[in-house]
Amino acid sequence: MAARAFDEIWGTGGTAKPRPEFASLARWMASTPMAELERRQQSAEATFRQLGITFAVYGDDDAAERIIPFDIVPRIFTAFEWTRLSAGLVQRVEAINAFLTDIYGSRRILADGVIPEDLILGNSQFRPEVVGAPPPHNIWSHICGIDLVRTGPDEFWVLEDNARTPSGVSYMLENREAMIRLCPELFRQYRVQPVDSYGDTLLETLRSVAPAGASDPVCVILTPGRFNSAYYEHSFLADSLGIELVEAADLEVDDDIVWMRTIVGRVRVDVIYRRIDDDFIDPLVFRPDSMLGVPGLMAAYRTGHVTIVNAPGTGIADDKAVYSYMPEIVRYYAGGEPLLPIVQTWRCREPKALQYVLEHLPELVVKLVDGSGGYGMLVGPTATNAEIETFRAALIAKPHCYIAQPTLALSTVPTLTEKGVAPRHVDFRPFALTGTKGVKIVPGGLTRVALRQGSLVVNSSQGGGTKDSFVLADDGEAAG
Amino acid sequence: MLSRTASSLYWLGRYVERAEFTARLVEATVRLDALSSRPAGEAAWASALSVIDADVAFAKTGEKLTPRNVARFLTLETQHRGSVVRCLDAARGNAKAVRTALTREAWSAINRSWLLFHGRASPGDTQATLNLVDQAQAETRGFEGAIGRMMRNPSSWFIRLGATVERADNTARLLDVKYHILLPEGEAVGGAVDRDQWTTILQTVSAVNAYRWLYREGLKPWFVTELLILRRELPRSLAASAEEVVLHLNALGKQTGFQGEADRLARLRHARLGDTKIAEVVDGGLHEYLEDFIEENAAVDQAIARQFRFV
């Protein structure tokens, strides 16, 4: 990247002068010795390890359980920045839910030729099984994590939508706990909006979408089990919400009603927050070899006896080719310009786009339309010639499987490195909750940081770390 | 509460108790070795293996029966289910499965104990072994303390129920094994070796001082037996365990509104122990008595599993 990336604390001018809102953070960094910062960071990580906030990296024998590295320097959003972000997120989430209602219902957007029909109807994530059986209140993605990147003070871009099973909120909450404990002085300098309402808001959201007639809805979280890489988060959420964490073996469907097996007999379940992909949730309807699902669950769902969060069929909103049409989708349902732009995206299924991409591979990021976790991705600028050629062949073989985007100069935030505090690239995932009372965005989110110098890969499964994300209560600092 | 959760909590309780008991066993045997008037010899370590049913497994390793080898085997042998490290592994596995039912303190205590043992090769010499088992016991006590501070709800009762059932089993086995090998040929009743062996038993169930408080006549096998079987003052006695099982089942029954076969069996046992005199036990054969007790304890365990629908 030729131009210097925008640093969220220092701006673009190097470390001479911090952006005005962050003067006190800059002073805090200057006045706290490196050794002390490191000590606090290690203390946080030791706590995380003791608490077992680990995740498993598949296929990695040695690191059976790892903690995600935590960096103690927070990134900060001013109240003004947050207000604008929130509005954009609300607009986007509402559009996503309207879109899903439409494509599984009357399909106006396809009839109007806004999106190619085959992109939706031929999509592996499109679930014909839910056509004509919309979820309560037409809410599909109750919990949506929208990945954002930033290239300038006012330049935010949506990188990706995670409407199906977004994860990472437990890190948002645990990181905040760690920061309060280790850097209380920062919370005197800044009025930081709290994030601990997430649990209450989520529970309220779940209960609000329970089937009609459920006077005191029983909500559960359905997990694949403790060998799943995100299991810690599943148990953390169940604990925060005070609801049961169930596995498939604990549930049975009888008479199209879902029951869970308890020590006093069976108890009816009204809402299931499932952290399992559609493919695995019901062996009678989807993958028959799935041991993680509940036979008959979809029948109970279609009958309306149980609400599933996020609704089956939502996965198509995560598709990156669909993402490339999001500006059109937002315009279509919101009736106005999208407040949050997407990153420029070339759809390789289109011949002209494919040609452009093949000619510019070393400059581009190429992704699978149904990929996740940063796997199966090409980062042109840092790839070897061999890797680029391999990708070229894959693209030519199956162009419809890929999209490409330019490499962005992602914003950086000061981060503790072996050589002292230095800028590292970050992204941001806020969480939007949608219930019958509308869309609520928790003032905070997961900031992921690429720990290697110059690296743009922030995924935890590939060595990224996290930071706390402050959203200030009002502009300016509390005390000087 | 999910049946699967109850099952995991119950077994969490059993495995932590088992880990602690095995650690105490090692500690007591080390002390017997170090402090007795004559070297304890192979018999002490062989008997330790017998208590937890590990004699055959140890023989299979082909290792020599030395204090160091057996201490290592009992604490760190990953191939044997009954070793402290394996018990903590199982405990932690169960704890992980039911994290939502545990407080942070309880989980941290288990995790810390596990971290202590995980990946360690050898306890080293006697001092190092004692340090290791000391630490293990500190953590398991920490766990017990954390359980005590949990909300009084089915989670804590299931854990304690499991721990108590396990404790009864352990004490019965300890007494059974030790009683038989206690007096090697050629040793005199009431002699130095005899006394050391009985003191080891008391040490394993932390009853050395308790004994002195309750019995003024000096160390006598008859009284040690009575203490461990019938005296409710000693928390690890069979009688105390039987009583505690009834208490925990009652608490669960109040909460759930149901009682069943497990309650019935537990109450019968508790009542019977209240009426038993030590003379009857010894006359009928201590070994037979303890065998029957262990079998009955297993029946209570199975009744609990059925009553709460563990599977």
Contact B256/A264, CB-based, under 8 Å?
yes
Among B6, B100, B104, beta carbon nearest to A51: B104
**Chain B residues inside the 8 Å CB shell of A52:** 96, 99, 107, 111
Contact A51/B256, CB-based, under 8 Å?
no
In the stretch 6-65 of chain A, residues with CB closer than 8 A to chain B read 50-52
Contact A244/B100, CB-based, under 8 Å?
yes
Among B2, B104, B252, beta carbon nearest to A250: B2
> Closest approach of chain A CAs to the CA of B48, in angstroms?
33
Contact A244/B2, CB-based, under 8 Å?
yes
pLDDT bucket at A281, cuts 50 / 70 / 90? very high
A181 touches B at CB < 8 Å: no
Contact B112/A261, CB-based, under 8 Å?
no
Burial class from Cβ neighbours inside 10 Å (0-12, 13-18, 19+) for residue A68 reads: buried
Q: Give a three-class secondary structure readout of chain A.
A: CCCCCCECCCECCCCCCCCHHHHHHHHHHHHCCHHHHHHHHHHHHHHHHHHCCEECCCCCCCCCCEECCEEEEEEEECHHHHHHHHHHHHHHHHHHHHHHHHHCCCCHHHHCCCCCHHHHHCCCCCCHHHCCCCCHHHCCCCEEEEEEEEEECCEEEEEEEECCCCCCHHHHHHHHHHHHHHCHHHHHHCCECCCCCHHHHHHHHHHHCCCCCCCCCCEEEECCCCCCCCHHHHHHHHHHHCCEEECHHHEEEECCEEEEEECCEEEECCEEEECCCHHHHCCCCCCCCCCCCCCCHHHHHHHCCCEEECCCCHHHHHCHHHHCCHHHHHHHHHCCCCCCCECCCEECCCHHHHHHHHHCHHHEEEEECCCCCCCCCEEHHHCCHHHHHHHHHHHHHCHHHEEEEECCCCCEEEEEECCEEEEEEEEEECEEEEECCEEEECCCCEEEECCCCCCCCCCHHHCCEEEEEEEECCCCCCCC
> Closest approach of chain A CAs to the CA of B256, in angstroms?
6
A239 touches B at CB < 8 Å: yes
pTM (2 d.p.):
0.80
Contact A247/B4, CB-based, under 8 Å?
yes
- The percent of chain B in helix, strand and coil, each rounded to the nearest 5, is 75, 0, 25
**Ramachandran region of residue B127, left (φ > 0), alpha (ψ -120 to 50) or beta?**
alpha
pLDDT digits (tens, 9 = 90+) for A242-252: 999 999 999 99
> Residue B133: its pLDDT value, please?
87
Q: With 90 as the cut, is the pLDDT of residue A126 above it?
A: yes
Q: With 80 as the cut, is the pLDDT of residue B193 above it?
A: no
Among A235, A261, A265, beta carbon nearest to B100: A235
pLDDT digits (tens, 9 = 90+) for B245-286: 999 999 999 988 889 999 999 999 999 999 999 889 888 888
Contact A263/B97, CB-based, under 8 Å?
no
**Chain A residues inside the 8 Å CB shell of B4:** 247, 249-250, 261
Find the residue in B nearest to A242 (Cα). Answer: B100
Gap between the Cα atoms of A412 and A421, Å rounded: 12
Tell me how many degrees the CA angle A383-A385-A387 measures, rounded to the nearest 5: 60
Identity of residue A50: Q
Contact A262/B104, CB-based, under 8 Å?
no
**Chain A residues inside the 8 Å CB shell of B111:** 50-52
pLDDT digits (tens, 9 = 90+) for B123-179: 677 788 888 888 888 888 889 888 888 878 888 999 999 999 999 999 999 888 876
Gap between the Cα atoms of A305 and A271, Å rounded: 9
β-bridge pairing A244-246 and A219-222: parallel
Contact A263/B257, CB-based, under 8 Å?
no
> Residue B290: its pLDDT value, please?
93
**Chain B residues inside the 8 Å CB shell of A263:** 1-3, 6, 154, 252, 256, 308-309
> Residue A61: its pLDDT value, please?
43
pLDDT digits (tens, 9 = 90+) for A7-38: 888 888 777 788 888 888 989 988 999 999 99
Tell which of A226, A263, A273 to mutate to test the B interface (max B CBs under 10 Å).
A263
What lies within 8 Å, CB to CB, of B258 at 6+ separation is: A264, B307
Which of the two residues, B76 and B120, has the higher pLDDT score? B76
> Residue A2: its pLDDT value, please?
40
Contact B1/A261, CB-based, under 8 Å?
no
Q: With 90 as the cut, is the pLDDT of residue A479 above it?
A: no
Which of the two residues, A2 and A232, has the higher pLDDT score? A232
**Chain B residues inside the 8 Å CB shell of A249:** 4
A386 touches B at CB < 8 Å: no
B107 touches A at CB < 8 Å: yes
β-bridge pairing A446-449 and A257-262: unpaired
pLDDT digits (tens, 9 = 90+) for B79-128: 899 999 999 999 999 998 887 788 888 988 898 888 888 777 776 777 88
Task: Give me the interface pTM, i.e. the ipTM.
Answer: 0.75
A235 touches B at CB < 8 Å: yes
> Residue A249: its pLDDT value, please?
94
Contact A262/B154, CB-based, under 8 Å?
no
Contact A263/B1, CB-based, under 8 Å?
yes
> Residue B201: its pLDDT value, please?
83
**Chain B residues inside the 8 Å CB shell of A252:** none
Contact A52/B257, CB-based, under 8 Å?
no
B6 touches A at CB < 8 Å: yes
Contact B1/A250, CB-based, under 8 Å?
no
What SS3 state is found at B2?
strand
